[in-house]
Chains A and B, each alone.
Chain A
Amino acid sequence: MKNSIAERIADFLQGYPPFNMLSHRALLQIATEVTITYLEKGDTIFKKDDIEHDNFYIVRDGAINLYYSSDDVKEITNIHDIGDVFGLRPLITKEPYKLTATANEESIVYGIPITVFQSVTDYNTQIHKYLITAFASNAFDPYTAEEAGEIFGDYLPNKSQDMANFQTANYTRSPITCSMESSLKKAAKKMSDHKIGCIVVVDDTKKPVGIITNSDIKNKIATGLFPIETPVTNIMSSPVMTSKKGLTIADGQLQMIKHSIGHLCITKDGTVNSKLIGVLTHHDVLVTLGNSPTVILKEINRAKRTKKLRAARLKGNSLLKSYIEQNIPLSHIINIISQINDAVIIRAVELALKKMPTEPPVAFSWLALGSQGRKEQLLFTDQDNALVFEDVPENRYAETQAYFLELAKLVTTSLNKIGFEYCEADMMANNPEWCKSLTEWKTQFKNWILKPDEKAVLLSSIFFDYNLVYGNESLVNDLTDTIFTTLEKTNLFYKFLGREAIKSPSPLGFFKQFLVEQNGDKKELFNIKSRALMTLIDAARLLILSKQIKGVNNTYKRFEKLAELEPNNKELYESCSYAFKALSKFKTKQGLLRNNSGKFIDLKTLTKEEKLKLRRCFKPIHEIQEILKIRFDLKNFA
């Protein structure tokens, strides 16, 4: 009987190894028995120590994380994307799983029944060899094989405790090159266009003959030794050091130290006499080994695919973890992490722009909202963003908006892949409501301010904390000016915001016990965000808006600014600033522990000292609410 679903699955499988080695008939046989599973972010496919499944898996959509987990560590060993196979252990041995597989984002996986697969492929040794290699390398990516066949290179990684050192070096594929005839000026132009520090000189058959780095240019051109129009062959370092692909990080580093060089050329057969396929730089080595903000930022700025961005942002997370453990001041951590987040977004927008068929029709600005806009986002949370574009004549409005919606869709999709979950309330730039021209935005904000209602207040807590991340600055300044002029006309809006800020429930009950959630799966947990942080955030926003201060977005900085402006309340504002930082740290620690947003705190996990500290933080919350009540005359308003 006809089965259209099986046919489509077979078509999909055909595109990926090892299935691309099978006949269509064999694929159809497999496809008919496939199990399609839909996974939400965080759903588990199998856990460490689970008995083996009857299936192995291929990712159809989304991405799957593989974790190595013991009691307290949870370490991502690999992330599998569309077309990658995983969960191969039952194919090789009948043992329980050693890793845990969970969905990195909303995903669909196909379960391939092992008995069917084996009966169809029994005599195909090629396929078995492939799967064993894939299983053993545990870090494989079908795209690594530029040409079919190469993937069977008998590469098996060293089994070593020090995983990082013995990972295959992740070199730059298809590096930027220039011909032997080109001038140095031309080569330098190429380097600066691609934001790279070195360029390989190749002959007609693409064999590497020399290499030019930034320091060559500095030492030989800038000093006047050679004119800028000199041929590259005069300047280049030659011959180059070469290696085969599949070398480990440790090998790469060793060779660099041995020859005191910063770049290794990867060629097809590992000698200078074959085609250049990549370059491994000292920087690449550091990226794999290192975990410093500068290295991460560089890696972000050079990322060419979302996957690379995701890897870089994940490193940011382990950086955050070590910072928190080392007790580095939170203001410093916030600065660094928000810089990394901004860089990720900027790069995501840049990559999306490249994917668009045309240049943007007019200038635009990409705004981060909410916690990202306040630059307070430490862990991965929801993405809230918006887009403003320059005014266009009415007859061009629809097409202009359509362009930016498409762009925004690309950006939000890749941000989601990186780890920023979609905003549940759809406050994202790919929503037509939040992707508008400057004038439309001005009208929107005026409406919110002059005709406040419940909805306006709900949205204002997100939208009034916007921050330019990418694009045109004057558009945003123009918008900000309008908002502040409008604010001068009314007091009602402040009252609405004030009511919101005092309405959040107090964190402590009548007997000074913590108020915990009463029902749902968060029962008995303490919601640190809604019960403590939100009040501080709301109060800071309201006070800073009422003082007409622009450009201070951080809650703790807002309080510092307020302390400056109102010396008589200095002490209170300073303790609010401190409380905010301390509470954020609590939240971050919990989030790292549980791999979530850290909103809900299990009081049982806190020490007595920590509980005391938390209580101390609550005192200024109560006091600031009292100040708001008086200042904005909220007594009879609520």
Chain B
Amino acid sequence: MILKWFRKSKKDYPNFWMDYISHFKNVEKSLIENTRFVAFDTETTGFDKKNDRILSIGAVTFVGKSIHVNNSLELYLEQEVFNPETVKIHGLMKKGSLQKVTELEAIKIFLAYIKNAVLIAHHANFDKNMINEMLLRHGLGKLKNKFIDTGYLFNQSKHVIYRENLKDHYSLDDLCKELNVPKVDRHTANGDALITAIVFLKILSRLDKRKKLQWDYLLS
């Protein structure tokens, strides 16, 4: 156990990782309206975290209720793993005309982008696992950020009289339909990230009305 602890001393981590980690020192709890949120989404070759790879990462940032378009992130990754099955969903081909970056480069950009923001994703566990697995491949630690899952949050936002017949699984499309979010650019990573952000804000306003808005409640 002790050996494992020392196996990788702090010095072995690259600078960009240390920079990322440094954002989590001495963080004070802030009010929800002052908190920096990053909604993100990944497009992958499949659902297996060991064997599948991330093809693109999209993310948008917001504090309060405004999202700046020029502060969004859209990364396309070079990958050797390829699965023709999922191409029809995201439209990303192995050799497309898009400008792509290496996995390591993508990690650097993504970590520098998210910093210590609270991360939001739909069915967040999947995206979290995919990213953590990618970090592991490059000898890095797990993400330190707090996570919010819009799928879980949506369940919580339903009125109590409907709780008993909720579905276990709400897709992002289900949520768009229920919450009247226009489905523009579904299945591009940053389009989905924007939709996730708006879905989150809408659920938040529902919850806010019922005076339930507290941190413990949001963080699944």
Contacts and interface: CB of A to CB of B under 8 A. Distances in A.
B201 A5 contact: no
Contact of B69 (A5, A61, A426): A5
Given A9-B69, A32-B69, A106-B202, A4 B191 contact: yes
A208 interface: no
B182 to A, nearest CB: 7
Contacts of B159: 424-426
B190 A5 contact: yes
Contacts of A9: 69
Interface string B165-200: 000000000000000101011001011001000100
B74 A33 contact: no
A147 to B, nearest CB: 28
A26 B214 CA distance: 43
Nearest to A61: B182
Contact of A33 (B70, B99, B194, B208): B70
Given A3-B74, A8-B191, A38 B161 contact: no
A38 B182 contact: no
Contact of B161 (A4, A6, A36, A458): A458
Interface string B102-144: 0000000000000000000000000000000000000000000
Contacts of A3: 69-70, 72, 74, 190
Contact of B58 (A4, A31, A106): A4
A30 to B, nearest CB: 10
Given A32-B70, A36-B68, A425-B161, 10 more contacts: A4-B188, A5-B191, A5-B194, A8-B184, A34-B69, A35-B66, A35-B67, A106-B180, A413-B180, A433-B162
Contacts of B188: 4
A6 B161 CA distance: 40
A626 interface: no
A111 B66 contact: yes
With a 10 A CB-CB cut-off, give which of B70, B180, B191 has the most chain A CB atoms. B70
Interface of A: 1-6, 8-9, 31-40, 43, 61, 106, 108, 111, 413, 424-426, 433, 455, 458-459, 520
B69 A4 contact: no
B202 A38 contact: yes
A2 B74 contact: yes
B201 A38 contact: yes
B69 A31 contact: yes
Nearest to A425: B159
Contacts of A106: 180, 202, 205
Contacts of B205: 40, 106
B191 A1 contact: no
Interface string B32-58: 000000000000000000000000001
A592 B189 CA distance: 46
B211 interface: yes
Q: Which secondary structure characterizes the binding site on chain B?
A: mixed
Contacts of A455: 161
A297 B76 CA distance: 57
Given A36-B67, A424-B159, A425-B161, A5 B72 contact: yes
Given A106-B202, A426-B159, A520-B211, A4 B190 contact: yes
Q: Specify which of A40, A424, A433 lies most central, judged by the most chain B CB atoms within 10 Å of its CB.
A: A40
A522 B112 CA distance: 42
B98 interface: yes
Contacts of A32: 69-70
A48 B98 CA distance: 46
Contacts of B66: 35-38, 111
A40 B188 CA distance: 27
Contacts of A36: 66-69, 194
A61 B195 CA distance: 14
A109 to B, nearest CB: 10
A38 B182 CA distance: 13
B148 interface: no
Nearest to B192: A4
Nearest to B190: A4
B25 interface: no
A426 B162 contact: yes
B95 interface: no
B99 to A, nearest CB: 7
A34 B71 CA distance: 10
B71 to A, nearest CB: 9
Contacts of A426: 159, 162
A352 B191 CA distance: 31
Residue among B58, B60, B66, B99 with max Cβ neighbours from chain A (10 Å): B66
A254 B69 CA distance: 51
Contacts of B58: 4
B209 interface: yes
A458 B159 CA distance: 13
Of the candidates A1, A38, A425, the one having the most CB atoms from chain B within 10 angstroms of its own CB is A38
Contacts of A413: 180
